[in-house]
Structure 1
């Protein structure tokens, strides 16, 4: 009954039943601690933990996980020290929590101690613990140690691969990050949206402009993963960091011929959302080159100029359009651009300078 109330978050009812129990064992105490942990009530969970007449490893693990979930990383490490000092033997779940806390605090020495403790006590890491360890090493910049853990894993999850990719990228080794991705493609699990976020982040940290664009396109074209705002934002950030004012002839050619056109409009919106105007203008002009007889690219470029207050450019664009016969039925991936297409069909091009986003 207590477990049922805990499951639906009714800690008042659970507490009432707990108080009426004629006798309580460690399971009933743990159930109450877990209930308060689920609603992130650290003070009540700690109160019940302190009042327990007898504890087991589950009791400690619930508290460790709670401190971790509430981002109280120092308290998590302090609690782990109390656990080991009290002659309780941590299990894999305990070490996952403390390894993650070390990762968040960038405490490499403490993380190494945890790894040594595992070896000394014959604790064989499962996939979850191994991933926590290699993530700790990657966040602390110890990529050689992370790779050692990774290579010894008999089974690797997509999270394990992602951790290695983002680790290499975070520390400026974009080439190794991309090598990890290709290894993953050859013999690992199917990449997911987080994988491509890791790859794009690696490209951004290493200034790999074309690589970032190419993987962005690959995500959509090959894996049918719809880019999320963070993917667009990362790519736009990459373009901005690279100071992309005028793309090289080679880059322009590749973008024009190899990238799926439906991604251009979404990326342009991301440029404008991140207030990166110059790449946005370039992308709008590329859209016009790809679709010279469609109205939407001109609307997007007009909006880009209007956002910057470049009214002379808006007027020049309007003049250019007066003698053009344009098609308003241009298909984009995003709902926003579809709405623009529908709206354009009802608006005379002579009034384009009045269109605002």
Structure 2
């Protein structure tokens, strides 16, 4: 299993040649605090890898070096910890941790971030916190590793707590590690902390760290989530490069706020920029076209582009076509699009039913309910009431 990009970048940082050379050439300080080793209770909670899984060779290497009474160099420890991290073997990593702790020739504190990364990648966050809370010194990489660990587990509240603690520990200084800020902005989005996300963006803008692609994309998604489309567009316009996902994110934001003219304008700009449009792009634009009251003119053009892009058979696009033609009063086109759907979900059924009821076609709406029942679908009370109200009026 490959290590995710944020962890991979930290892995490279922790194993850089300059760091290893510095460890080799620097004598240990006169008085050095031991790295905290996991307690027996914590070690028992670490699950050993099964026989079917690839085990690391750290135990064999450590026993051989000890039997020969050879000192273990810093780069050897680094290599062993990297192997444990790559193989997700926390138990073997804990053995290396213990060996480093009881050694007397190597400044153990230098290995703290590497050990922390190993525990986090292996999913042993409890052991990682035990180490982190007792580290004699912590740097931005230390905080980043722990933040990434909780971000990977979607523990957004803990991500924000750690981020704020890191700022307090560094006297209010914001470390511009882009991947960390991306996790923080995502956490603000998920936890609905708008003011905190806005403050982080403001600090980044003053420091000139808003041109990073991933960071800019997360800021656009953040502002779109809260309906602040002007701020989202400002970040969007300043991006040196824009992928299809970020274009679609802006389109979805405009559509959600019922700004349908901007949806079409951005869709056209996306085409001129030569960006590939996916099924989410087309479904959002078709939704906007169904609410523009132009007799389906724009919707037909977008439909033609969906066919050209090869996404017409996508379920999201098909349901959006039914919805768009139904909203525009083009029931024959809506019916044709509906009949082309091989596996219909509740969204497509509801779109077709709404098209019938909006045009006062009660008989067709009732027939559709019977068709749903014949397909073994339990009729939602809301859909039955929708037909009842339409027919009663």
TM range (shorter): 0.5 to 0.7
- Secondary structure of the residue that 1:267 maps to in structure 2? coil
Instruction: Give, in angstroms, the shift of residue 195 of structure 1.
Output: 3.0
1:90 paired with 2:175, answer yes
Distance 1:209 1:301, change over 3 A: farther
Which residue of 2 is the match for residue 20 of structure 1? 99
1:57 paired with 2:140, answer yes
Q: 1:307 aligns with which of 361, 375, 379?
A: 375
CA distance in 1, matches of 2:206, 2:250: 26
Residue correspondences, number: 279
- Secondary structure of the residue that 1:222 maps to in structure 2? helix
Deviates more, 1:24-33 or 1:172-181: 24-33
Which residue of 1 is the match for residue 305 of structure 2? 218
Instruction: Give, in angstroms, the shift of residue 140 of structure 1.
Output: 1.2
1:156 paired with 2:242, answer yes
1:144 paired with 2:230, answer yes
TM-score using structure 1 length = 0.64
Distance 1:270 1:39, change over 3 A: farther
CA distance in 1, matches of 2:87, 2:313: 35
Which residue of 2 is the match for residue 267 of structure 1? 341
Instruction: Give, in angstroms, the shift of residue 9 of structure 1.
Output: 1.8
CA contact (8 A) 2:286 2:321 kept: yes
Which residue of 2 is the match for residue 108 of structure 1? 194
- Secondary structure of the residue that 2:242 maps to in structure 1? coil
Cα-to-partner distance string for 1:268-300 (whole Å, 9 max, x where unaligned): 631568654954998xxxxxxxxxxxxxxxxx9
Which residue of 2 is the match for residue 43 of structure 1? 126
- Secondary structure of the residue that 1:118 maps to in structure 2? helix
Instruction: Give, in angstroms, the shift of residue 188 of structure 1.
Output: 4.7
Aligned-pair Cα RMSD in Å: 3.9
CA distance in 1, matches of 2:351, 2:376: 8
CA distance in 2, matches of 1:266, 1:198: 20
Distance 1:225 1:31, change over 3 A: farther
CA distance in 2, matches of 1:2, 1:138: 41
Instruction: Give, in angstroms, the shift of residue 112 of structure 1.
Output: 1.6
Q: 1:168 aligns with which of 254, 275, 279?
A: 254
1:3 paired with 2:90, answer no
CA distance in 1, matches of 2:134, 2:124: 16
Which residue of 2 is the match for residue 287 of structure 1? none
CA distance in 2, matches of 1:59, 1:42: 13
- Secondary structure of the residue that 2:309 maps to in structure 1? coil
CA distance in 1, matches of 2:262, 2:355: 33
CA distance in 1, matches of 2:287, 2:125: 35
Distance 1:34 1:173, change over 3 A: farther
Structure 2: runs of 5+ lacking an equivalent: 1-79, 357-367, 378-393
Instruction: Give, in angstroms, the shift of residue 148 of structure 1.
Output: 0.8
Relative contact order, CA 8 A, sep 6+: which one is greater?
2
TM-score using structure 2 length = 0.59
